[in-house]
C-alpha cells in the first residue's frame, strides 16, 4: 500500500488529521489498533475551546456540534464554601462548548466514511522503518495478514501507550513528567446537571467537579487516592461524597440517579521533546499528557493537528517545508503553557493529602482570594481556560 501520510491511531488526533488532510487534497491512511465500536465506547473529554470548535468546522464536521453543543460563558470556582464566578466570555470574548469526545470521534468517523477515507481497524504489530529517510514504511498485521504501507511522512497519533514515540531514538528524546498522588473518580448519569455552568470545588475532603454532556446528562468527578478501588464505590457512596464536597445549597439541588459509567483516572503531566524526528511526527497524547483539571487534553491534541495539517498542506502545495521544520517548536510552546495551567489549577483545587503543610494550604487560600478580588487574576485564568491563541 502507498499513501502520502501514514497515521497511527484512530482517536480524535488521527481522525481529525486525516479529515483535514482530505479537505486539503492530501491522501492518508489511518491504522487503528481497536475496533470502531471500542474507540467509540471510551468516555473521556467533554469541554471544547473555541479554537477547537473552529477546527472541527474547518474540517467540515461541526453539524452535530452546532446542533447539540452547549455554549458556556462562565465557570464557578468554589473554595471552602466561597464562590468565585469567572465570566470568561465577558473577559475574553470567547465561549466554551460542551460536546463529548465520543460525539466528536463519531462525527469524524462519519466524515471519513462519507469521503471513502481509509481507516483500518484492528491492526496489530506495527513496526516503523526507514524513518530517517524520505520514504518511511509502516509494517503491520491486518486480519492476520502482513501488510506494509509506504508513505512520505508518519504521524504518531497513538496515545501515550502507542508505538510511535518509542520509535524515536533515545539519544534525541527527552521526557519530562510529574505525577499526583490522586486521581479522579468520574460518574456519568442520565440526570439533569445541577448547575447550568461548570462548578470546580475545593473542599477539605478533596476536589469535586460538576460537569455535563447535555441538558439531561451529567458528568461528575471527585478526587480520590490513587489506590482506591472502583468496586468500593457504589453509586450511593459516590453521591453522598459528592454532596459533602459541594456548597450546601448546590448539594440540596443535586439530582442523583444510576451511573451509566464509572471509572478512576490518574492525574499526571508528561511531555516528550521533540515532537518530530526526521519523517516521524507526534501529535496529541502520544507526545503529552496533562492532568484533566481544565480539560486541556483533547484541546491540545487539536492544536497539534492544526499546526501539523497546515504545515503538511504548505509542503504539498509548494514544497515549502518551513512549517514542518517549525512544528515541534511551535506545538511544544503551546503544550508547555497548557501544561503549566493544568498543573497549577490541579495544585490550587486538590487536597494534596499527606503532602499538605499548613504553609501550602495558606498559599492555596491566598491564590483563591487573589482570584476572588482581582479582575487581572480572573482575566489570566480566563485567558488560559478558554485556550491560548494558536
Among 47, 86, 151, 312, binds ligand PHB (CB under 6 A): 47
Report d(CA 191, CA 63) in Å as an integer. Answer: 25
Instruction: Rounding to the nearest 10 degrees, give the CA dihedral for residues 38, 42, 47, 49.
Output: -40
DSSP state of 230: G
Q: How many residues does the chain have?
A: 390
Q: Provide the pairing of β-strand 75-79 with 198-202.
A: parallel
Binding at 293: pick from ligand PHB, ligand RFL, none (beta carbon under 5-8 Å per type): ligand PHB
* Site string (184-203) toward ligand PHB, x via CB under 6 A: --------------x-----
Which of 72, 95, 112, 219 forms a contact with ligand PHB (CB under 6 A)? Answer: 219
Q: Judged by CB under 6 A, which of 46, 69, 136, 284 binds ligand PHB?
A: 46
Whole-number minimum distance, CB 294 to ligand PHB, in Å? 5
The H-or-E segment that residue 248 falls in is helix 248-253
Tell me if 152 contacts ligand RFL by CB under 6 A.
no
Nearer to ligand PHB (CB atom), residue 164 or residue 293: 293
Q: How far is CA 321 from CA 13, 18, 203, 308, in A?
A: 21, 19, 50, 11
101 contributes a contact to ligand RFL by CB under 6 A: yes
User: Does residue 292 bind ligand PHB (CB under 6 A)?
Assistant: yes
SS3 at position 277: strand
The whole-angstrom separation of Cα 223 and Cα 209 is: 9
Q: Does 298 bind ligand RFL (CB under 6 A)?
A: yes
Answer yes or no whether residue 303 interacts with ligand PHB by CB under 6 A.
no
- Subset of 67-86 contacting ligand RFL (CB under 6 A): none
* Residue of 105, 145, 149, 143 lying closest to 127 (CA atoms): 149
Q: Report the interface residues with ligand RFL, using CB under 6 A.
A: 8-14, 31-34, 39, 44-46, 101, 123, 126, 157-159, 161-163, 265, 284-285, 292, 295-298, 301
Amino acid at each position: 500500500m502507498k499513501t502520502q501520510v501514514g497515521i497511527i491511531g484512530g482517536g480524535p488526533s488521527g481522525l481529525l488529521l486525516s479529515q483535514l488532510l482530505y479537505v486539503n487534497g492530501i491522501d492518508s491512511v489511518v491504522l487503528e489498533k481497536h475496533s470502531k465500536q471500542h474507540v467509540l465506547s471510551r468516555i473521556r473529554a467533554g469541554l471544547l475551546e473555541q479554537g477547537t470548535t473552529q477546527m472541527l468546522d474547518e474540517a467540515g464536521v461541526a453539524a452535530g456540534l452546532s446542533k447539540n453543543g452547549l455554549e458556556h460563558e462562565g465557570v464557578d470556582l468554589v473554595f471552602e464554601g466561597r464562590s468565585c464566578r469567572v465570566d470568561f466570555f465577558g473577559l475574553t470574548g470567547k465561549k466554551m462548548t460542551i460536546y463529548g469526545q465520543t460525539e466528536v470521534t463519531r462525527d469524524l468517523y462519519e466524515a471519513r466514511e462519507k469521503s471513502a477515507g481509509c481507516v483500518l481497524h484492528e491492526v496489530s504489530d506495527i513496526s516503523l522503518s526507514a524513518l530517517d529517510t524520505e520514504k518511511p514504511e509502516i509494517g503491520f498485521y491486518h486480519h492476520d495478514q502482513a501488510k506494509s504501507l509506504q508513505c512520505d511522512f508518519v504521524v504518531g497519533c497513538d496515545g501515550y501507550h502507542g508505538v510511535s514515540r518509542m520509535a524515536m531514538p533515545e539519544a534525541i528524546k527527552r521526557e519530562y513528567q510529574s505525577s499526583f498522588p490522586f486521581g479522579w473518580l468520574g460518574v456519568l448519569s442520565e440526570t439533569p446537571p445541577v448547575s447550568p455552568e461548570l462548578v470546580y470545588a475545593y473542599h477539605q475532603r478533596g476536589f469535586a467537579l460538576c460537569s455535563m454532556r447535555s441538558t439531561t446528562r451529567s458528568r461528575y468527578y471527585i478526587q480520590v487516592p490513587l489506590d482506591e478501588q472502583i468496586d468500593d464505590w457504589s453509586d450511593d457512596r459516590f453521591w453522598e461524597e459528592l454532596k459533602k464536597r459541594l456548597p450546601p445549597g448546590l448539594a440540596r439541588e443535586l439530582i442523583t440517579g444510576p451511573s451509566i459509567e464509572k471509572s478512576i483516572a490518574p492525574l499526571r503531566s508528561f511531555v516528550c521533546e521533540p515532537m518530530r524526528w526526521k519523517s516521524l511526527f507526534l501529535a496529541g497524547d502520544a507526545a503529552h499528557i496533562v492532568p484533566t483539571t481544565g480539560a486541556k487534553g483533547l484541546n491540545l491534541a487539536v492544536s497539534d493537528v492544526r499546526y501539523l495539517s497546515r504545515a503538511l498542506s504548505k509542503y504539498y502545495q509548494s514544497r515549502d517545508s518551513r512549517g514542518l521544520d517549525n512544528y515541534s517548536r511551535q506545538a511544544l510552546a503551546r503544550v508547555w503553557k497548557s501544561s503549566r495551567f493544568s498543573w497549577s489549577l490541579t495544585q490550587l483545587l486538590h487536597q494534596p493529602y499527606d503532602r499538605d503543610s499548613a504553609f501550602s494550604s495558606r498559599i492555596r487560600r491566598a491564590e483563591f482570594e487573589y482570584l476572588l478580588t482581582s479582575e487581572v487574576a480572573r482575566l489570566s485564568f480566563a485567558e488560559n481556560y478558554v485556550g491560548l491563541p494558536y
